[in-house]
A and B are shown apart, each in its own frame.
Chain A
Amino acid sequence: MEINIQKRVLAKNESDADRNRSFFKEKQVFMLNMMSSPGSGKTETLCRSLEMLMPDVRVGVIVGDVCTTNDADRLSVTGAKVTQINTDQFGGDCHLAAHLIESSAKSLGCDDLDLLIVENIGNLVCPAEFDIGEDARAVVLSVTEGEDKPLKYPLMFQVADAAILNKIDLLPYLDFDAALAVENMGKVHPGMPVFELSAKTQEGMEPWIAWLRNKVKEKLG
């Protein structure tokens, strides 16, 4: 006997994500999901971004890692409200699921925030699959990785609303072809804005910050 089911496996995560979206709408908070492979410079990019955004944009950060509070400690120095999720207690998950964001956002408190940034776990595969209730997604690729990362991990670059190409200060020392990397991102996600910058030297940060400010403004008015 065949029993017809026709159910999406991630339906529960999707409904959790929708509930998060309603919560952030009610609280008037823009939520950005930042994703990348480990070591692309997400935390450094965020630290510099927070310095440029605050205090006129009130920012909170939820940081996801399997273990340690190292990234949260680095981000706290900026004065932003920061909370860490360690997934080792959930079996070392490789991504943040929507229900984890719900509890963290509530414990962080969103009443005094305009922008909540979730620094997802460093991984180009799994986080792309899990909607966490974000308003926008940004993916960070660094020039110490391969130009073909967008082709190898197409879903991540397909679902992103913007991409950052980080560590451009290292380009003179590498064989990395930045134009090819940008072209590959364009193949996977035509029209996606790509911001070439160095969080370390802060070269190229302005257009990225302007994009983010504009996104927050579009939602909050």
Chain B
Amino acid sequence: MHEMGIAQQLVNIALDAIPDDIESPRVEKMNLRIGKLAAVVEHSLTFCLEVITKDTPLEGAEVVIEDVPVSLRCESCNHEWQTDAPAFGCPACKDGQVKMISGREIEISSIELADD
């Protein structure tokens, strides 16, 4: 439900990253990393991006989203694992002191500018 705010932040970061000395820049691709546990709906985010990038160098850019899996580490036995299920207890020692290593990312990795 907050995808528009996230889209706005993404656009701000992407526009800031375009070097000033490029004349009429056009971004072909935005590369994002979104964790599987992040509260972001991908099609909602891409829709918001499509709407707010109109008349900017990002208009029409392809949005490529890398899904980042949920990775966890047990603080008790150091076991590391990935999961698709909402069950985050350590499968090795059953302990509860678990740290999430990845899966909550909402990041922009790079943008790709057209050569023309």
Contact = CB atoms under 8 A, between A and B. Distances in A.
B13 to A, nearest CB: 5
The interface size bin for chain B is: 35 or more
Nearest to A13: B9
A10 interface: yes
B39 A155 contact: yes
A10 B2 CA distance: 12
B51 interface: no
B109 A6 contact: yes
A148 B56 CA distance: 43
Nearest to B30: A5
Contacts of A129: 2, 38-39, 106
Contact of A9 (B87, B97, B108): B108
Nearest to B13: A7
B37 A9 contact: no
A93 B1 CA distance: 8
A154 interface: yes
Given A1-B113, A3-B18, A123-B1, A154 B13 contact: no
A93 B5 CA distance: 9
Contact of A6 (B5, B9, B107): B107
The interface size bin for chain A is: 35 or more
B112 interface: yes
Contact of A2 (B4, B38, B98, B111): B111
A2 B110 contact: yes
Given A1-B112, A5-B111, A9-B9, A158 B17 contact: no
A186 interface: yes
Contacts of A150: 86
Contacts of B97: 190-191
B100 A158 contact: yes
Nearest to B34: A9
Interface string B76-116: 00000000001111100001111010001111111111010
Interface of B: 1-2, 4-6, 9-10, 13-14, 17-19, 37-39, 86-90, 95-98, 100, 104-113, 115
Interface of A: 1-10, 12, 91, 93-95, 97, 123, 125-126, 128-130, 150-152, 154-155, 158, 186-192
